[in-house]
Amino acid sequence: MRKMAALSLVTLVLLLGACGADKASRQDDNVLKIGFIYETMTVERWQRDRDIFVAKAENLGAEVIVKDAYEDSQRQKEIGMEMIKQGVDVLVIVAYDKDSLKDLVRYAHGHGVKVIAYDRMIRDCDIDFYISFDNTQVGRLMGESAMAKVPQGNYLILNGPQRDNNSIMLNEGYYSVLKPAIDKGDIRIVGESWIDAWRDEGSYAYVSEILNSGEQVDAIIAANDQLAEGAITALSENRLAGKVFVTGQDAELGACRRIVEGTQGSTVYKPIDILAEGAAEIAVKMAKGLEVNSDTVVSVGNYNIPSIIYQPLLVTKDNMEETVIKDGFFTYEQIYRHVP
């Protein structure tokens, strides 16, 4: 009996010690720690977000741990749990799958760690903050840009992955513009696909298939500039680049070059500096235990999430200098390098 009592006492001490160690790990060095989890670094814009966020957070006195989940939901969860064990005060997440992170959010809250959804909403759980651009408005701008150039004709729609909440919001945005013309018969949707990844391979294959079927295409709405790039590659192989209007979003360097060269009609510019620096400021405040107030609330299911929503800008050949170049997003020389 004495041995059993002693063992029980040792077990209790170890358990209490483990709990104490977990709390102490986040307090022992008084360093503010922020974990930033990406879905992938293959998309150009995420590299820019990362660099701006890290620079701003470090300037505010925080240490940032950045990890790439390589487009794997399970890996995002594992990385998040590991970061919590390493003592982060806040998790900032670019969600690969809008529905897959509920367990991680609960685990974080159980360990006193705040969670910020960066650019993409994490659905059906009580995250602490959401910061993004108005993605429905991004879709509207894309639809308006296409309609201005091609008020009548055959359209292709290239959506992003359905697991990404932004894809759904974009789709709602451009259909809100296109629907009256579709109902009148002025616009005919000759093909629509939800591309499984935000990369050009899937859009190239799909657009090639449509063109090879003999279908005439007058305009393509691509959910981002990489999908636009794949579409334009397929158009080029059919000697249609510059003859079919193509719009995208993110204002990637390649897209800006295609716009001034005439193969892409427009892109939607989201000033990433504002988003990344704003998120860094919020994350540092939360890490310090300060209250973060917001006048904007986004309702997701049963949850009302405090949010900051920024406005995007349409970029065409006509306003390239007044937008991305003026903001220093890219230089004149970078964009016009292939233009005589």
Q: Report domain extents, the chain.
A: 31-127+272-311, 135-269+314-335
Q: How far is CA 318 from CA 256, 314, 323, 328, in A?
A: 12, 11, 10, 17
Give pTM, 2 decimals: 0.88
CA angle 140, 148, 321 (to 5 degrees): 80
Q: How far is CA 1 from CA 11, 15, 127, 191, in A?
A: 15, 21, 48, 76
pLDDT value at residue 30:
81
Residue 169 amino acid letter: M
Sole residue written with tokens 């909403």: 121
Alpha carbons within 13 A on the beta-carbon side of 19: 6
The whole-number mean pLDDT for each consecutive block of 10 residues of the chain, a chain of 340 residues, reads 41 40 51 93 82 96 94 94 97 94 96 97 94 98 98 98 95 98 98 94 97 97 97 98 97 97 97 96 97 92 94 98 96 94
pLDDT value at residue 44:
73
Q: How far is CA 186 from CA 33, 115, 147, 153, in A?
A: 54, 45, 10, 6
Token pair, residue 206, equals: 């799909």
Length of the chain measured in residues = 340
CB 279 within 8 A of CB 116: yes
Alpha carbons within 13 A on the beta-carbon side of 120: 23
**Is the CATH number 3.40.50.2300 carried by domain 31-127+272-311?**
yes
User: Does the CA dihedral 93-98-99-100 come out positive or negative?
Assistant: negative
pLDDT value at residue 340:
84
pLDDT value at residue 29:
62
CATH number of 135-269+314-335: 3.40.50.2300
pLDDT value at residue 28:
52
CA angle 114, 269, 115 (to 5 degrees): 5
CB 236 within 8 A of CB 293: no
**Alpha-helical segments (H) within 111-248:** 135-149, 165-184, 200-212, 225-237
CATH topology match: 31-127+272-311 vs 135-269+314-335: yes
pLDDT value at residue 15:
40
Residue 284 amino acid letter: V
**Residues facing residue 300 across a β-bridge:** 303
pLDDT value at residue 10:
40
Residue 211 amino acid letter: L
Token pair, residue 252, equals: 């990637």
